[in-house]
Chains A and B, each alone.
Chain A
Amino acid sequence: MKNDNRNAIIAIEDSIVQVRDLNLFYGTSQALFNLNFDIPRNKVTALIGPSGCGKSTFIRCINRMNDLVDSVNINGSIQLDQQDIFDKSVDVIDLRRKIGMVFQKSNPFPKSIYENVIYGLRIGGVTEKPVLEEAAEVSLKRSALWDEVKDRLHDSAMGLSGGQMQRLCIARAIAVSPDIILMDEPCSALDPRSTAHIEELIRELNGEYTIIIVTHNMQQASRVSDLTAFLYEGELIEFGKTTDLFTVPVKKATEDYITGRFG
């Protein structure tokens, strides 16, 4: 299966991220093999694949969260706006301000709802109260949480439900106006109703932000994404329009996976 996957690059007119020859090692064991693909601007790209195939590892490369893991070694490049993010001159803090992230398990800070949303702005040095308040309102409205929390902005975020917490995390990511939002299985810990809520939100954000979403749930990928990449054992097997990939997969492995023969 270690075939040349350069053919996975499909023509994308306006790409924001270009992944080139990306290899990633945890110590001596390789987790990502020679990834090459482009991610379009202001579209939703879904990454699917069985557990342990490297989806999460891949998106953590994009905002360099893998730096936190000591044993990780990376070669190859990821270009963001024509700049290699692994270059020594790149300030990782700047990079992360451009790339928001929503985690599998919702992780609001043990602070008030308001403080959670404006956290990114606060650490960025914004202190003007009107600016912060406006940003909070806009972000909460964008993440469809405003109506539910507007009367208790200063209550602890710990009192929210799981779905609300996850939307709060999305609001928190949006508040710093990132170019890209990474979502690492954002609905895996949520009930179907909350999941529907989040999916609706993703569809609403589509067109304004570049969203890269990792998901286990193929229905979800087909519902929310414009493009889908299928990863298997650290390799990119197939990448294409979501509608094509789910209806007429090119690769046998993709077909096997989406039809539920394994995974």
Chain B
Amino acid sequence: MGYPHPSHPKETVVLSQYFGDAGARSYEGWTRRGGYEGLRKALGMAPDAIVEEVKASGLRGRGGAGFPTGLKWSFMPKGDGKPHYLVCNADESEPGTFKDREIMRWTPHALIEGCAIGAFAIGAEVCYIYIRGEFTEPWNVMTAAVAEAYANGALGTNVFGSGKRIEVILHRGAGAYICGEETALMNSIEGRRGNPRIKPPFPAVAGLFALPTTINNVETLAAVPQIMVRGSAWYKGLCLGNPKSTGTKLISVCGHVQRPGNYEITMGTPMKELIYDMCGGMLPGRTLKAVIPGGSSVPIMTAEEAESCVTDYEGVVAAGSMLGSGGMIVMDDTTDMVYQIWRLAKFYAHESCAQCTQCREGTSWTTRILGRILEGQGTQEDLDLLLDLSHNMTGTTICVLSDSCATPIVSGIRKFRGEFEAYLSGARAPVLAGV
């Protein structure tokens, strides 16, 4: 299927097979499409065997960090007698990313099934799914699906007659980008301000309610039932050369392409094919200028870097950026890079939780300096000042929001310095009015 466009022949359709197919939303419709076979199979396995199977598949976290999922699960203590928690991060709020939304809207049971398998594997009886407050339709679809899953024995005190208890509880956020950070998310579920926590302790030791917790992204968990049914060897085989990046990845493409939307690719697909074949390339008469490949927090790539980039975790790093969440922002030759970098900095300044000085001050100072450059009031020293501030904002705070603000600034000045210089020299007319 595919949504909003039919799947492209170059896509590898696994998670997105039923996007756009409203019939897949119901329990009955989902089981008719092979749903819940993965959970039934998992319930017949030892939890350790599930973890090993996921490890063998090579599945890595799809929320941004790319940490191996099976390894993360294996960090959970065994035989400690304490309650464990699984938390699903459905706070999708990284600018450029809109894939988890489609998973929840079209295939809610894929996520519920993945949560149930994950919870069983890590010895948790309760899984909280934290859905951002703005996602009203995914919330409604998930609410209906969870109720149906309970009614059909896929959740509850005796899942499919196995004697195992697995509860899935939906928790609605209330507007805060930072709650997508895993420790801020746990604070938010606990009824606190969404301030990130210092690590260690890591969540597997002391997470939600100070108990052992694993946090996984929606797309990661939705892939797990497929691995259970089709096997780790099949999943590992979805790879175009680099065995460290396996499976499929949903790439949300937005910005200046002909057909924005979600595209599911085999890891290792050339970015050029994604942009020009699947998304139809640029609008008529326009050319590619820059790509932010993994959500707004990763370094900006030039057109040349993007066109020679292999889309997998290592490939994007080799091309000077990161795959992140797979939220790809495409910019054509009409784009004012200075303005776009200012707008990104403004986003981070708005979303800083303000715990750490470098972030609270740095995000707003950099935004103001970029603003004055756009007002035609910038000086040559401002570029050095921006780089100096960015340096102080990197690696010095509790979470990486501060680093994420510095990243587009540093990569932007390095790769598009001429555009900054044009404002500084007066060659380019100011676009922001002075304040």
Decide whether A and B assemble into one complex: no
